[in-house]
């Protein structure tokens, strides 16, 4: 099954907790603090590979969680860092922030990496807090807890040449003639349900061709199947526009040509300006007089070059391959998508909110508080004193007073609740 768009959940590992420990051995009865640091959590990393051409692996596996950092231990032993999770995706995969719908990465080449989420920081052990006035701190810091995020993976096929045209225009048949691909071929609409890729070799050189599922009128607005796959021709350098000159499906070949070009332009102005070769297919099904008459009508109306082929008899196939190679030699590769500089993994260390709960207690919350209370232990006198001083220094007490805080009122900060008194 071909899958080219999927939403997944990713989460970096939490940081490990610092250790609260004191040196104790036969030679040292009252040693100093020796609690080690917590390990950092594992990161979420996306990596592109040429060995995949679909997002099918994400059909059932849609949640990726990196390893948590291990807790610190006595004797200044730091906890091990959590294991990174490397997510393999096909070349051409675009990563989109599901919340803002903004593109955050474009992995357009083989072996590119994007660190989407970094692991949480490990907490400090009590040895970290030792000072001339704090000889024996009985507290340590907890590890940073990370949040899960949702991203959309969208595959934009990496190919040099894109085959476009109405269903049954002969795209799949042509691909099987000029490359190593073996697409499903049959005579009914929408045979191709997903893009097929093939590698074409000409004079010792190769290029990649993508057979894009058939477009119909209204495709750019969501009609039929073709609109779903238009993203796969966004990166191609050359379009081979296949038009059934035999009109075997009862459609007018000029109408087909115009409709497809309109749909490409509606979808993307850049796509409409991509160099195009008009390829008239199924030439073997038309008598010579009718064929010449239709070709004359086309050239008079559009004054465009074309090439005539028949995949059934291989008429014009070699000529088409040579022409394609010649044109590609003069067309530079399209640049990657412009990615806005945004910090997808931005951590909230600054927000602060004061509300009141149903019991009238003041509730202080936000990223600033989450980071602050990691190193607070109420059972330790010095830690609690530090906690009170920091509330004053950070201006939280003044903010609470501005909200109506009075002596005897209850203040809740995370799992900490205390009665305020001046």
Q: Does pLDDT of 390 surpass 90?
A: no
> Is pLDDT larger for residue 133 or for residue 183?
133
What structural domains does the chain harbor? 1-155 (2.70.210.12), 161-328 (3.40.50.300), 353-419 (3.30.300.350)
pLDDT at site 29: 65
In percent, how much of the chain has pLDDT > 70?
90
Q: Tell me which DSSP letter residue 187 carries.
A: S
In percent, how much of the chain has pLDDT > 90?
48
Mean pLDDT of 84-110: 93
Q: How far from the centroid of its chain's Cα atoms is residue 199's Cα?
A: 26
Q: How far apart are CA 239 and CA 328, in angstroms?
A: 10
Q: How many residues does the chain have?
A: 422
And the tokens for 422?
A: 């001046």
Average pLDDT, the chain: 86
Give exposure, 342-355, as e/b (b: 16+ Cβ within 10 Å).
eebeeeeeeeeebe
Mean pLDDT of 328-338: 86
Give the pLDDT band (50/70/90) at residue 240: very high
Q: Does pLDDT of 323 surpass 90?
A: yes
What is the sign, positive or negative, of the torsion defined by CA atoms of 95, 96, 99, 102?
positive
pLDDT at site 186: 44
Mean pLDDT of 220-237: 61
Q: Does pLDDT of 4 surpass 90?
A: no
Q: How do residues 46-66 score in pLDDT, each as one tens digit? A: 999 988 878 888 988 999 999
Q: At what angle do helices 288-302 and 253-267 cross, to 10 degrees?
A: 40
pLDDT at site 410: 92
Q: Tell me which DSSP letter residue 6 carries.
A: E
pLDDT at site 182: 60
pLDDT at site 382: 73
> Is pLDDT larger for residue 184 or for residue 44?
44
Q: Which of 324, 133, 365 is nearest to 240 (CA)?
A: 324
Q: Within 13 Å, how many C-alpha atoms sit on residue 30's CB side?
A: 2
The structure's pTM equals: 0.76
> Is pLDDT larger for residue 168 or for residue 283?
283
Q: How far apart are CA 34 and CA 140, in angstroms?
A: 11
Mean pLDDT of 332-352: 84
Any bridge partners for residue 85, and if so which? 44
Q: Does pLDDT of 377 surpass 90?
A: no
Q: Does pLDDT of 227 surpass 60?
A: no
Give the pLDDT band (50/70/90) at residue 32: confident
Mean pLDDT of 277-291: 94
Q: Does pLDDT of 190 surpass 70?
A: no
Q: How do residues 12-28 score in pLDDT, each as one tens digit? A: 999 999 998 888 776 76
Give exposure, 274-294, as e/b (b: 16+ Cβ within 10 Å).
bebbbbbbbbeebeeeebeeb
pLDDT at site 156: 84
pLDDT at site 326: 94
Cα separations (Å) of 250 from 225, 253, 255?
20, 9, 11
pLDDT at site 185: 46
Phi, psi for 399 (deg, rounded to 5): -65, -40
**25 Cβ contact list (under 8 Å, min separation 6):** 31
Q: How far apart are CA 309 and CA 278, in angstroms?
A: 11
Kindly compute the dihedral angle of the four CA atoms of residues 41, 46, 50, 51, in this order, to the nearest 10 degrees. Answer: 50
């Amino acid at each position: 099954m071909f899958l080219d768009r999927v939403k997944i959940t990713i989460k970096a590992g939490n940081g490990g907790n610092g250790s609260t420990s004191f040196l104790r051995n036969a030679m040292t009865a009252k040693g100093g603090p020796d609690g080690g640091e917590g390990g950092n959590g594992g990161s979420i990393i996306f990596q592109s590979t040429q060995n995949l051409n679909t997002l099918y692996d994400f059909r059932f596996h849609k949640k990726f969680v990196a390893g948590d950092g291990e807790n610190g231990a006595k004797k200044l032993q730091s906890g091990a860092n959590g294991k990174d999770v490397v997510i393999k995706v096909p070349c051409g995969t675009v990563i989109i922030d599901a919340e803002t719908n903004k593109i955050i990465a474009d992995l357009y080449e083989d072996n590119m990496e994007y660190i989407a989420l970094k692991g949480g920081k490990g907490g400090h052990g009590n040895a970290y807090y030792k000072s001339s006035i704090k000889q024996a701190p009985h507290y340590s810091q907890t590890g940073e807890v990370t949040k899960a995020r949702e991203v959309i993976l969208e595959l934009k096929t990496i190919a040099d040449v894109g085959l476009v045209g109405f269903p049954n225009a002969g795209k799949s048949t042509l691909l099987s003639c000029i490359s190593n691909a073996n697409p499903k071929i049959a005579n009914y609409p929408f045979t191709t349900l997903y893009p097929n890729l093939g590698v074409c070799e000409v004079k010792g050189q190769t290029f990649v061709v993508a057979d894009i599922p058939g477009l119909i009128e209204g495709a750019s607005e969501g009609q039929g199947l073709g609109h779903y796959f238009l993203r796969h021709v966004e990166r191609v350098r050359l379009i081979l526009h296949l038009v059934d000159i035999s009109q075997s499906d009862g459609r007018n070949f000029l109408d087909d040509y115009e409709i497809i070009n309109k749909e490409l332009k509606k979808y993307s102005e850049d796509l409409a300006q991509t160099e195009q070769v008009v390829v008239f297919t199924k030439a073997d099904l038309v008598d010579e007089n009718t064929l010449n008459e239709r070709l004359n009508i086309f050239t008079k109306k559009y004054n465009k070059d074309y090439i005539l082929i028949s995949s059934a008899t291989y008429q014009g196939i070699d000529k088409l391959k040579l022409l394609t190679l010649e044109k590609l030699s003069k067309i530079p590769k399209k640049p990657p998508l412009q990615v806005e500089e945004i910090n997808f993994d931005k951590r909230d260390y600054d927000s602060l909110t004061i509300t009141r709960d149903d019991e009238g207690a003041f509730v202080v919350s936000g990223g600033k508080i989450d980071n602050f209370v990691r190193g607070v232990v109420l059972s330790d006198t010095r830690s609690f004193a530090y906690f009170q001083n920091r509330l004053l220094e950070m201006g939280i007490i003044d903010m609470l007073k501005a909200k109506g805080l009075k002596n005897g009122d209850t203040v809740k900060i995370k799992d900490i609740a205390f009665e305020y008194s001046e």
